[in-house]
Structure 1
Amino acid sequence: MKPWHVEICDVTLRDGEQTPGVSFTPDEKKDIATRLDAIGVEVIEAGFPIVSVHEKEMVREISKLGLNAKICGLSRACREDVDAALDAEVDMIGLFIAPSDLHLKYKHKKPREVVVANAIEQLDYAVDHGLIVRFGAEDASRTEPDILVDIYRQAAEHKASYVTYADTTGCLTPLEVATVMKDLVPRTPIPIAIHAHNDLGCATANTLIAAELGAFQLHTTVNGLGERAGNARLEEVLVSLVLKGGITRYDLTEIPALSDCVQKYTGIYMPITKPVVGANAFAHESGIHIAAILENPSTYEFIPPEILGLERRFILGKHTGKRALSHILTIFGYHISDEQVMQVLELIKDRSEDKCSINQQVLREIISQVTGEDVINGNTIGENSGCEGRHIC
């Protein structure tokens, strides 16, 4: 398979910080940027420099970290915004306008030709001052494709390096994105960036279908942060690029720690069923599944947990089978007869019916009850037990 031709621009520090109630400290921003760089993210959108003196200084500090990633700042098509980005010493700016009829009427309140001409003037100014320019169309998903192509071609003529297709309101489905990309990519002379919002729950899917059909720069946020329902999720996009797009250059083992620290910094914690980084992403309870996994993990796992530096977990509950229980008991160092295994299994199922979590302590209690031996203070879950020091359930 020929690898997809893409790069990642992570916008956690800008769009992600626009999540209601979220604000990163300078140290948190630098930590996130450093972790993104360790993964191999090519572009980090560090902020919106014109927002405040503090924001501009923070973007400048990230620009000076010496990361491999290019540092980008967001910019309206205003001279003061571009100057603020220059002061922040970024490598790239995301210069944007909103060319849809709706935004022209209610936001810009000017004819499209005037808005575009002014934006091209700011593009020239940014290029003349040595910036890489990504020329963005906000609300592109509600703008006629022919209008976008005309704007994109003007941007290319004035030496923009990318153009952005932003589904600002998250109103598109994957099939709609596919239709758009099949039209725009062949007619646009420079690479297209896809910026997808998640209002319909389609941001990651929309980003991936755009990538498969020729979009180059993919915008993401850690844990899907962002305004309203958020943006395309970095962790899901990266895993998909590796498993579906044939890309091997990203270090996925850095993802779990990055996700954890962003959860801590924001106070926004992931559901246990969250793909890739949820607590149950690599957890199994069904006895049928576990029996097959013990033979070959790919029977019930598409994403190998090892690529993320993680281990699968076997959960004890009402769906557990004898083989799974025997395997877990062996991992924990318990050696009991087959008859006792069945007795332990029956008690596990009984307790699970009462919605009792079969965690480490409960398992010990059950084993003690069956064997008559005190194992309450005995074996513990080791670092390599397959449970990463967490409860079994």
Structure 2
Amino acid sequence: MTDLFGGHPETTTLSDSEVQFLDTTLRDGEQAPGVSLTPTEKAEIATKLDSAGVGVIEAGSACTGAGERETIDRVTSLGLDATVTSFARGVKRDIDLALDCDVDGVNLVVPASDRHIEDKVETTRESVIETAVELTEYATDHGLWVEVLGEDGSRADLDFLERLMRRAFEAGADRSCYCDTVGHATPDRTLSVVSRLTALGPTSTHTHDDLGLAVTNALVSVAAGADLVHATINGIGERAGNVALEEVAIALEHGYDVETIDTAALYDLAQTVAGSTDVPLAPNKAVVGENAFTHESGIHTDGTLKDEAMYEPYPPALVGRERRLVLGKHAGRAGVRAGLDEHGIDVTDEELSTIVDRVKTIGDRGRRVTDADLLTIAEEVQGRDRDRRVELLDLTAASGGPTPTASARLAVDGEERVASGVGSGPVDAAVSAVREALAIDATLESYRVDAITGGTDALVTVEVEVSHNDRSVTVTASDADITRASVVAMVDAFDRLLSATTPVPLAND
């Protein structure tokens, strides 16, 4: 048993009893502005949540409409181990619609604060209690698992909230839920409320991040006895979002030895939800952000190479990640040498010093130093030429007609190859022509125009990331013609990948 509050005599402790998640990505998360999930996307996310060991999945709100009920039906038909629920307001019809979707339970929400009771619903406290009791009995009589949520509970009169939930339990509710609906609560308020509710029966916690306290309040809730945490993947949701499931899961496991789900599935879940919702992950997002296990600083890279735990709280594999050492203006000798070693390049101390200076110069211009950049720098410093397997000899592209076309002439292992391609634009057509000429199954992972200079001799810089046979390379190229810059970068990336592997057969024409 670990004391979350430093042994304060008036607080409780975070026990090692079982804690589970109720994931509401498919309901509360989808209420984020601009987010709308298809039945297929909801089914995919639900399946991955279930595989990760999430105990309860709130699949949506059956009362929303026919389309929403279709998505809930899709989830309930998957045969998941998780309990699948529907959000239900304090009206009988919502429960009936949830039953039609064959859910296992309902998350029954009734107003708890006077602001919601009197101003929103225009009713009385006694009427709210009567409704909660009546609908709880109705739902349980129909075999549903029932969780009663007191909306805006963090701003409710605590004596009334306690009375409401006591009556709900007496009516057969399986659990109550503390709702910090508007992210209003401080940790001490959360502790007071949840401690009172857990004395009545099983209690959940539902926190929002409007004050940046969602994770803290979720942990305080668990310390106060809550054993089910409502959360969303990536913390998506209305306003500042819900508490992020991945952050609570790793905080409980790493900080308090409380295991909840298979944390190795977190990064894949994060990527799936980010892709389905078109809500990208911030690079500095805890646990799943691109920079969470990325090191550039020379001091940090050197320390990490000596001891992987030097600058990381837990190993990246715990959440399905890999460590990345990148080069830029803060790079040091250890990081640069590690990058060279990865490509099998031996350098003297003098050569290494020159390469580090060159890397820092590029970084000072605001650019990330790619694998291709590092290899090129090393080649120039050592005065050697790389044996190229692929070279671009000629490129033509036309976009005046209805379908953009392009033709590329390449030298592949000394053999000339010519191929043509079509695409949605001249760049797409040119890249298709190069792929056709090489007949290589490399994947274009990312493509972006990195910078455009001004003036009549404007240069466009294109950056591509290409992967092949479990290796990837990032290459940049600049030219006044965006099509040529794109193809030069692609060809150089293909050449780097092929030259770095044991002979890779290139298909004949």
TM-score by length of 1: 0.93
Structure 2 segments unaligned to the other structure (5+ residues)? 2-14, 390-464, 477-509
Equivalent of residue 264 in structure 1, options 260, 271, 275: 275
Q: Find the residue that maps to 2:96 and give its secondary structure.
A: helix
Letter in 2 for 1:341: L
TM-superposed CA distance for 1:287, in Å, is 1.6
Report what 2:205 is aligned to: 194
The alpha-carbon distance between structure 1 residues 216 and 376, as it changes in their structure 2 partners (threshold 3 A), is farther
Report what 2:76 is aligned to: 63
Query: Are residue 29 (structure 1) and residue 42 (structure 2) matched?
Result: yes
The alpha-carbon distance between structure 1 residues 384 and 198, as it changes in their structure 2 partners (threshold 3 A), is farther
CA deviation profile, 1:131-166 (whole Å, cap 9, x unmatched): 010011000011011111111110111110110111
Query: Are residue 149 (structure 1) and residue 162 (structure 2) matched?
Result: yes
Q: Distance between the aligned counterparts of 1:350 and 1:340, measured in 2?
A: 15
Letter in 2 for 1:87: D
Q: Distance between the aligned counterparts of 1:59 and 1:311, measured in 2?
A: 35
TM-superposed CA distance for 1:179, in Å, is 3.5
Structure 1 segments unaligned to the other structure (5+ residues)? none
Q: Find the residue that maps to 1:195 and give its secondary structure.
A: strand
Q: Distance between the aligned counterparts of 1:232 and 1:323, measured in 2?
A: 38
Task: Answer yes or no: is the 8 Å Cα contact 1:367–1:375 preserved in 2.
Answer: no
Report what 1:132 is aligned to: 145
Alignment of 1:166-181 (within 5 A): 166-181=179-194
TM-superposed CA distance for 1:4, in Å, is 4.2
Moved more, 196-205 or 266-275: 196-205
Letter in 2 for 1:226: G
Q: Distance between the aligned counterparts of 1:283 and 1:161, measured in 2?
A: 44
Report what 2:250 is aligned to: 239
Q: Distance between the aligned counterparts of 1:238 and 1:344, measured in 2?
A: 42
Q: Distance between the aligned counterparts of 1:278 and 1:390, measured in 2?
A: 20
TM-superposed CA distance for 1:350, in Å, is 1.6
Task: Answer yes or no: is the 8 Å Cα contact 2:29–2:232 preserved in 1.
Answer: yes
Q: Distance between the aligned counterparts of 2:230 and 2:41, measured in 1?
A: 20
Task: Answer yes or no: is the 8 Å Cα contact 1:19–1:226 preserved in 2.
Answer: yes
Query: Are residue 165 (structure 1) and residue 183 (structure 2) matched?
Result: no
Identity %: 38
Alignment of 1:1-393 (within 5 A): 1=1, 3-186=16-199, 189-248=200-259, 250-375=261-386, 389=472
Task: Answer yes or no: is the 8 Å Cα contact 1:315–1:392 preserved in 2.
Answer: no
Task: Answer yes or no: is the 8 Å Cα contact 1:116–1:151 preserved in 2.
Answer: yes
Higher strand share: 2
TM-superposed CA distance for 1:356, in Å, is 1.9
Task: Answer yes or no: is the 8 Å Cα contact 1:141–1:166 preserved in 2.
Answer: yes
Letter in 1 for 2:114: D
TM-superposed CA distance for 1:55, in Å, is 1.2
Moved more, 298-307 or 167-176: 167-176
Task: Answer yes or no: is the 8 Å Cα contact 1:4–1:212 preserved in 2.
Answer: no
CA deviation profile, 1:237-258 (whole Å, cap 9, x unmatched): 1111221232345222222121
The alpha-carbon distance between structure 1 residues 347 and 327, as it changes in their structure 2 partners (threshold 3 A), is same
Q: Find the residue that maps to 1:299 and give its secondary structure.
A: coil
The structure with higher relative contact order (CA 8 Å, sep 6+) is 1
Letter in 2 for 1:346: D
Report what 2:430 is aligned to: none
TM-superposed CA distance for 1:368, in Å, is 2.2
TM-superposed CA distance for 1:267, in Å, is 1.1
Higher helix share: 1
Q: Distance between the aligned counterparts of 1:389 and 1:8, measured in 2?
A: 36
Q: Paired residues, what number? A: 388
Supply the RMSD in Å over aligned alpha carbons.
2.2
Q: Distance between the aligned counterparts of 1:182 and 1:249, measured in 2?
A: 21
Q: Find the residue that maps to 2:87 and give its secondary structure.
A: strand
Moved more, 272-281 or 317-326: 317-326
Q: Distance between the aligned counterparts of 2:185 and 2:473, measured in 1?
A: 39
Q: Distance between the aligned counterparts of 1:69 and 1:330, measured in 2?
A: 47
